[in-house]
Structure 1
Amino acid sequence: MSGINPRETGSGQGYRGRNSTADRALDILLMFDEDRLVLPATEVAARLGVARSTAYRYLQSLTSNGFLEESEGSGFRLGPRVLDLARLARKGIGLSDLARPVMRDLVERTGMPVLLTRRAGSAVVCLEREEAGTFLRLSYERGQVLSVNAGAAALALLAWAPDNELDELLAEPLPRYTDATHTDPDELRVHLAEVREQGYAVSRGELDPDVLGVGAPVRGETGAVVAAISIAALSHRVPDREVPRFVKAVREAADALSAQVARMGAS
């Protein structure tokens, strides 16, 4: 981690407009790097451009919540709560590690790029993307965050969302990406029920024009949906009669990954 040098101005001007406690707490955590494992309150105050008493109040708040701990009078260092978050992050990486061989195998079977996605609240995050050797322009890139209402990858996740979460998600305006995007909550509920019944999602042009998507859920050890695996192709090159064989390949890949996730306890 390289710290927050772009924000360091010496006068605190880099923090203008960032006055919430949450903003300041994040700024303090981002001050730590390989060369700054312990930070004295005076340095934190100077870099934030606030009084020492104000900086100390932020530091004490982080300490009381376990994000920092005092280092024998020399300052503050990262606390056990950060280690807990790192452990959770590693579990997420574990899912990607398990998925890559399955994704590569699916690429070989279908000749199409493969995506691994998971839901994060009202959005879908692309964790991994395995290329197929042919260029296909997609909205989903590794790390990309998109809405939950468009595309097979998203619908394969949203279809199994708890009812209370689904109600909250569909109460908000749904973005439209193409003419085929589901933006009517009632119509989307009907479509999601169909996805749940058949166990997979197929989309044509809902997120990217002329892109066919086939997605299936990946389940964890409790049976809950933890991710989705999907393929994408140019829609006009895949007639309806060929879709079932791609559905079969995607579902088998999702089942294989689900078995590994359940066995390893990854998520």
Structure 2
Amino acid sequence: MLNLDTEPPEHVGPAKASSLERMLSLLDFFTCRKPVWSVGGLVKASGFTQSAVYRYINELADSGLVAPVQTGRYSLGPRIIQLNRQLTLSDPMLVAMQSIEAELPQLSETQKWHLCRLFRDRVIAIGEYGNLDAPLSYQRGNPMPLFRGATSTAILAWLPERQLMRLYLENQPDGEPQNFAASWPAYKKKLAAIRKQGFASAFAEIDPEVNVFGIAAPIFNVEGKVIGSISNVRPMALYRPELLEAQGGAVAELARRITRDVNALAADMDEA
């Protein structure tokens, strides 16, 4: 199973980042595989000076974003737990999803729905609904690749062209061959077809050993910028090509409802 949380972070280099960005980038080193760090370890891993890391860690500890587990060694702190609870209860996408959760269409007896947000050049699941017989890599808080799976493609296809071209050029050498066209114009045409269709679909691109397929559609903010997606994932044994268009339309309609509700919630908060 793919799990990006165990990969080394792509930290921000000192040459192109502000002091605040460098400080916050230290949080990326605290992963499930390595949850505890010493100052010396962070100095070596980040490339920052020892005095800078000491200063950053002290500031992060004062804010509760990291906490000492013993002298000179730190883990993520209680402030993150507090913020996670706040997000769970008040994230506009999750609040919008709560209003339609009981109405989620039962496209098959076994299915799972994922609500995801765009985060940097990754996609992060923020909500899971339903059940499958096997666990998937799309789990709350786990960053996933932007160039694999319907959940990500439904976001990727609606990104601005300039941003999309940058991502295509940066990721092509390491991307999965089946997900990249031979040229940028060809790839742009491929994504244009997805936008015209209104939804994305993919087959066993994230967890091949689980053998599932997904259908996903984009969610937008009030400015019309894509911010996330909703996807339905089911076993490949239940795939029926003649039903794809109708089921994709149903997922796209859910995405439109969430978009409307998210923007209505944002408007209400502005007026409060």
Q: TM-score range by the shorter chain?
A: 0.5 to 0.7
1:20 and 2:48 correspond = yes
Q: CA deviation at 1:253?
A: 1.0
Moved more, 152-161 or 168-177: 168-177
> What CA distance in whole angstroms lies between the structure 2 residues aligned with 1:16 and 1:223?
41
Which residue type is aligned with residue 20 of structure 1?
F
1:113 and 2:112 correspond = yes
SS of aligned partner of 2:213: strand
Moved more, 13-22 or 241-250: 13-22
SS of aligned partner of 1:119: strand
Which residue type is aligned with residue 241 of structure 1?
E
Contact 1:104 1:130 in 2 (8 A): no
Judging changes above 3 Å, is the alpha-carbon distance between structure 1 residues 236 and 114 closer, same or farther for their aligned structure 2 residues?
same
SS of aligned partner of 1:171: helix
TM, length-normalised to structure 1: 0.66
1:155 to 133, 144, 153: 153
Match runs of 1:1-267 below 5 Å: 7=37, 13=40, 16-17=43-44, 20=48, 23-32=53-62, 90=87, 93-106=91-104, 108=106, 110-111=108-109, 112-132=111-131, 134-174=132-172, 175-176=174-175, 180-182=178-180, 184=182, 186=184, 187-209=186-208, 210-265=211-266
Contact 1:114 1:230 in 2 (8 A): yes
Contact 1:222 1:262 in 2 (8 A): no
Q: CA deviation at 1:96?
A: 1.9
Residue identity over aligned pairs, in percent, reads 22
Contact 2:112 2:129 in 1 (8 A): yes
Contiguous gaps of at least 5 residues in structure 1? 37-45, 49-81
1:5-54 C-alpha deviation (Å, 9 max, x unpaired)? 9557xxx65655256267445412331267x9xxxxxxxxx969xxxxxx
Q: CA deviation at 1:147?
A: 1.4
> What CA distance in whole angstroms lies between the structure 2 residues aligned with 1:101 and 1:120?
24
RMSD: 3.5
Q: After the TM superposition, which segments of 4 or more aligned residues of structure 1 sit over 6 Å from their partners?
A: none
Q: CA deviation at 1:220?
A: 1.8
Q: Which residue of 2 aligns with 1:73?
A: none
Judging changes above 3 Å, is the alpha-carbon distance between structure 1 residues 19 and 27 closer, same or farther for their aligned structure 2 residues?
farther
> What CA distance in whole angstroms lies between the structure 1 residues aligned with 2:182 and 2:141?
27
Contact 1:181 1:206 in 2 (8 A): no
Judging changes above 3 Å, is the alpha-carbon distance between structure 1 residues 120 and 203 closer, same or farther for their aligned structure 2 residues?
same
Moved more, 203-212 or 12-21: 12-21
Q: CA deviation at 1:217?
A: 0.8
Q: Which residue of 2 aligns with 1:53?
A: none
- Which entry has the higher C-alpha Rg, 1 or 2? 1
Which residue type is aligned with residue 255 of structure 1?
R
Higher relative contact order (CA 8 A, sep 6+): 2
> What CA distance in whole angstroms lies between the structure 1 residues aligned with 2:134 and 2:218?
23
SS of aligned partner of 1:113: strand
Judging changes above 3 Å, is the alpha-carbon distance between structure 1 residues 23 and 13 closer, same or farther for their aligned structure 2 residues?
closer
Judging changes above 3 Å, is the alpha-carbon distance between structure 1 residues 185 and 92 closer, same or farther for their aligned structure 2 residues?
farther
